[in-house]
Structures are given as structure tokens and as C-alpha cells.
Amino acid sequence: MKLITKLWMGIGVLIILSPLGLMLPEHFKAGSAWGEWGIDEVQKLVGYIPKGLEKLASLWNAPIPDYAFKGWEEKGLPSLSFAYIISAILGIAIVVTIAIFIGYVLSKKED
């Protein structure tokens, strides 16, 4: 089996497992996934908001907040799991497209 086939199979398995990020914190009553905190959650955890984080927090808004589409937050675990999988596919597609484009641009410079 080719290496690229193994890579895509591994990525496919990770896509299918992505809803675990939704299920495990809920199961263990852990709150948000580690490292995905907003400034309000950081303040609860640390006791203050770092100045740099406070300045940069408004620069970026996620295209699909919380990995779910608008109105899907109340639909239940199966719908949210599906939204997680769609978010993973979209994210991977965007990263692969950008990587191919950069590779194309860099290969043209060498010619």
C-alpha cells in the first residue's frame, strides 16, 4: 500500500473519531476541550485575562463556532457529531488546498 493511501486512511479515521472531542469532555464533566477556551473561560480558570490575549481576541472569529452550524447546538449529540465530522472535512480540505497552492507557487519559482 502506498504511503499516501495510508496517510489518507489515517486522516479518515481521525475525521470519524473527531466527535470524541465533543463526547469525552461531556462524559467526564470536564467543560470545554483543553485549549479551546474563550477569554471568559480563561478568566475563570486563571483569574485574569492576559493583556495580549485580550488585545487579540477580537481579531479572529471562527467560521464555524463550536464546530456546529447555527441552530444545531440544541439538536443533540448525533447532529453535533455530524457537524464535527463536516467541520473536520472542511478544515482538512482548506489546509490541503492551501498546501497544494503554496507548493504550486513555489514550484513555479524554481522554473
pLDDT at 36 over 80: no
Question: Is residue 50 situated within a structural domain?
Answer: no
Tell me if 71 is assigned to some domain: yes
- Give pLDDT tens digits for 79-111: 888 998 999 999 999 999 999 999 999 998 765
89 part of a folded domain: yes
In a domain, 91, yes or no: yes
Among 26, 27, 45, CA closest to 35: 45
Q: How many helices (H) and strands (E) does the chain have?
A: 5, 0
Domain with 90 in it:
3-35+66-110
DSSP 8-state code for residue 49:
-
End-to-end CA separation in angstroms for the chain: 32
Upper half-sphere CA count for residue 42 (Cβ side, 13 Å): 13
Average pLDDT taken over every residue of the chain: 87
Mean pLDDT value of segment 33-46:
83
Alpha carbon distance 66, 84 (integer Å): 9
Report if residue 99 sits inside a domain.
Answer: yes
Residue 111's pLDDT is 58
- Residue at 70 is within a domain: yes
pLDDT in tens, 42-70: 898 899 999 998 888 888 777 787 788 88
